[in-house]
A = this chain, B = another copy of it.
Amino acid sequence: MTTPFNERLREVSRSRDSLLCVGLDPDPEKLPPHLNGDILRFNLAIVKATTPYAAAFKLNAAFYEALGEHGLQALRATIEAIPADVITIYDAKRGDIGNSSRFYARAAFDLLGCDAVTVNPYMGRDAVEPFIANPAFGAFVLCLTSNPSASDFQTAATDGLPLFKRVALAVKEWNTADNCGLVVGATRPEPVAELRDLVPELPFLVPGIGAQGGEVAAAVRAATDDEGLGALFNVSRGILYASRGEDFAEAAARKAEQLRDEINQHRRRT
């Protein structure tokens, strides 16, 4: 029997005692100067140093695509270096008609070997289905994002319900194989808590603590479920660029450990 993605995520979070997701979004211009822009060397050092504190790694596709073939090779080699008992999320925010989404799913799961992806809900159910066809692989659907313009459409009232809540309820319906989640930004804790009540069974991938300004304690209290699980908190820049010196990996590890502990401190405990 295949373990559904959401169940595996709970097991990993529990056994590693961590809800921390490390975002591997390497910007060559921000790397420690002694690495000369070598993002693979950077990633491998960050993965090795932060794995003890992480439940998951998230790789944002944009940073790799901008580097062409070289970026794709670094992406693959990084994913291969992530231990199998840590979750790997391809943060690609894809979504297209079913025929095209099938090819995107093949790229994320078969070719790259990731465990989950982020997907965009705008095109509706059939754009998401190819990503959740196999219960072993998961999809975090964009719901309420952490960027300033999130309110352009996501909070628009659709027949009395903000669009992001309509998306959450739809994803709850799509979650028949226990492998759907939501991307829920942490810029404000109130809507996160409302979503937690609305769809208690869906795991949240929470960006926006750290560089994007969300406060850790409030975000963790709002997003975790009654077992203190059901959420991953992603930090990218705050960990990656903790130091630009030769000690960047050690500094990233210290920061990851500190964030894991801070998150754990505020998890709901039964």
Contacts and interface: CB of A to CB of B under 8 A. Distances in A.
B149 A96 contact: no
- Total copies of this chain within the assembly: 2
A100 to B, nearest CB: 4
A100 B156 contact: no
Contacts of A65: 103-104, 107, 111
B124 A121 contact: no
Interface string A7-50: 00000000000000000010100000000000000000000000
Interface in A69-90: 69, 72-73, 76
Which of A106, A153, A163 lies at the interface centre, i.e. has the most chain B CB atoms within 10 A of its CB? A153
25 contacts: A62-B94, A62-B96, A62-B107, A63-B100, A65-B104, A66-B104, A66-B107, A66-B111, A69-B73, A93-B120, A97-B212, A98-B147, A122-B145, A122-B153, A123-B142, A123-B147, A123-B149, A123-B150, A123-B152, A124-B148, A124-B152, A126-B148, A156-B158, A156-B159, A158-B158
A203 interface: no
Contacts of A154: 122-124
A265 to B, nearest CB: 27
Nearest to A185: B97
Interface string A123-157: 11111000000000000001001111111111011
Interface of A: 25, 27, 60, 62-63, 65-69, 72-73, 76, 93-98, 100-104, 106-107, 111, 120-127, 142, 145-154, 156-159, 163, 166-167, 170, 212
A69 B72 contact: yes
